[in-house]
Amino acid sequence: MGMDESKGAGRPAPEPLEAYGFSDRGCVRLKNDDSFGYYIPVDSGLKENRGSLFAVADGVGSCAAGGAAGAEAVNVLLQEYYFGSFTEKAPQRFLHAFQCTALHLYTLSLSDTSSREMKCTLTSLLVRQNQFFITHVGDSKVLLLRDNHIHQLTNDHNMAGKLLRLGLISAESARDHPQRNILLRAVGESPYVMPDFRSGTLRPGDQFYLITDGITEDASARELGALLLERTLSVQSLAILTEELKKRGGNDNMTILAVKVNRVPC
């Protein structure tokens, strides 16, 4: 799961970033095809230059290698970003690492018969100095809880998301639209995939949530924001939240990776 080198427990002051993740297969699926991972460097120079990286992935349900695709994508993205032979500055390095991950999954699906059609969503957040960057393909999401308001920072690359952006359906209708599971873009479907890219400035108290679509099948983004405001962030609180949502259906795998910004470098 996470590769958090920070040791904030027991210290008077919290670390600049806190991260907590939880994943559940839900009530219906026989296995969990979701994956998440993150890396918060303990070395101050590496943290300043490269930042901290967080990612979630959801294996495409129609392919047998979906679960392996998600885990592979998260691991390769982390490895390529921190240890790949790129010389570009952080945003360009981030995008190139994403492209290398997509090419890796596509190549793997061609070379190994057990990995045919190895595809997944991949949504990632880079927090570096006083900025954040997002790369995103698929229908997982990044939500930002800021000043008691929840904001969705990504677009869903599925048919329901496209209809929503065209103004043909409402956000509420998109949640249970019959074509919400038809992905229009996935990592591994081709040797090159263009991710959505977004950047912004951090504020103290920001809370980012990287979630797979199983979470929002049972709660709207606004409702999820209200539920998150009620609790202190921890792995246990995310597990309790997931159990509450499972009582509403739990038809899909459910993963949530939370990132809290306690302090922002000047």
Contacts 24+ apart (CB under 8 A), 153-156: 153/198, 153/200, 154/123, 154/196, 154/198, 155/196, 156/180, 156/213
Chain mean pLDDT for the chain: 85
Asked if residue 34 belongs to a domain, the reply is yes
Asked if residue 206 belongs to a domain, the reply is yes
* CATH, residue 130: 3.60.40.10
Asked if residue 12 belongs to a domain, the reply is yes
Q: How large is the average pLDDT for residues 177-198?
A: 81
Residue 95, pLDDT above cutoff 50:
yes
Number of domains in the chain: 1
**DSSP states of 44-79 as a string?**
HHHHHHH-EEEEEEEE-TTSTTHHHHHHHHHHHHHH
Place of tokens 């009530």: 27
Domain that holds residue 180: 3-260
Asked if residue 266 belongs to a domain, the reply is no
Asked if residue 265 belongs to a domain, the reply is no
Asked if residue 254 belongs to a domain, the reply is yes
CB 3 within 8 A of CB 83: no
Between CA 236 and CA 234 the distance in angstroms is: 5
Angle (CA) 263-208-39 rounded to 5° is 75
Q: What is the pLDDT of residues 112-147, one digit of tens each?
A: 665 567 889 999 999 999 999 999 999 999 999 999
Q: How confident is the model at residue 29 (pLDDT cuts 50, 70, 90)?
A: confident
Closest CA to 58 of 158, 128, 151: 158
β-strands 141-146, 131-137 pairing: unpaired
Asked if residue 238 belongs to a domain, the reply is yes
46 CB-side CA count, 13 A: 12
Q: What is the pLDDT of residues 8-28, one digit of tens each?
A: 445 557 889 999 999 999 998
**The pLDDT value given to residue 109:** 80
